[in-house]
Amino acid sequence: MKNIQIIPLFLSVLMLSSCVTKDMWKESSYNETIKSFLMTDSGEKLVVISKNYHYIFTLSNDLKHILLSSKRELLKPSFYHFRVDNNDNISGKYILNYFNKSKNQAKEFQSLGFKNKKLQNKESSLYTFQGKLQGKRYLANKVISSSQTFNKDYHVRIKEETSIISKIGKTLATPVTAAVDGVLIIGGAVLVSIFVTVSDKDAFK
C-alpha cells in the first residue's frame, strides 16, 4: 500500500524537476556588429573582431589550406546558424563562394575542394566550399581596434543560450593584444586580415 502511495509522489517530483530544469535554460538572440576577420599568420586560428566580442575559431586543415592560399581575396563568405552556449562556446556554419569566368582558376578552386554549382548564366559558374566552425567567445577589449576593418559594418544575429544563474564576470577577456606598432597578436602569433570584401548583403543569417 505504501509503495502505491509513493509512486504518484515520485512522478510529481520528477515532473516538477523537469519543469524547473527547462525554465532554467532559455534561448535568446542578439545582433553583433562585425568589424573585421583576422587570421594568425600560421593559419591555426580565425579571429572575428566585433563591437562587443572577439570570436576565436580553430581552423580545420581544409579551411586553413584555403585561407592561406592566394585565392582567399577572391572569396565571398556567408555565415549562418551561429549559436553560443552558456559556457561561451560558439558554433555555426559557413559557405565560401567564388564566381568564376576562368577555366584555369576553376581547376585551382576544384583542387582546393570547391564544388561547382551550375548557374543560368553560362558565362560564369559558382564554386562553393562549406563547413562548420567551432570556437570561443571573449569580451572585446575596447582599447584594441584593428586598422584592417571593412569599409562598412556587417551584422550577424547570434542565438545565445542563457540561464537564470547570473553570468556576470563569466565571459573571459579576449586574449588578443596589440603591439606597439598597432599590430594585433594572439598567443605570440601576428594576425593578418582576410575577407576584405564581403557580399553586398549582410553575410550573416
Q: What is the pLDDT of residues 126-170, one digit of tens each?
A: 899 999 999 999 999 866 665 666 666 678 889 998 775 655 558
Which three cell numbers, joined as nine digits, stand for 142? 575596447
Q: Is residue 136 part of a domain?
A: yes
Helix H or strand E encompassing 25: strand 25-40
Q: What pLDDT was estimated at residue 139? A: 94
For residues 196 and 205, what is the distance between their CA atoms, to the nearest angstrom?
19
Give the range of the structural domain holding residue 139, as residue numbers without chain letter. 27-194
Looking at the domain assignment, is residue 205 inside a domain? Answer: no
Residues in CB range of 193: below 8 A, 6 or more apart: 36, 37, 38, 146, 148
**Per the domain annotation, does 166 fall within a domain?**
yes
**83 domain-assigned:** yes
Q: pLDDT digit string (tens) for 15-36?
A: 544 454 455 567 889 988 888 8
Domain count for the chain, please give it: 1
Asked if the structure places residue 158 within a domain, the reply is yes
Q: Are strands 176-178 and 76-84 parallel, antiparallel or unpaired?
A: unpaired
Residue 6 inside a domain? The answer is no
In-domain check, residue 141: yes
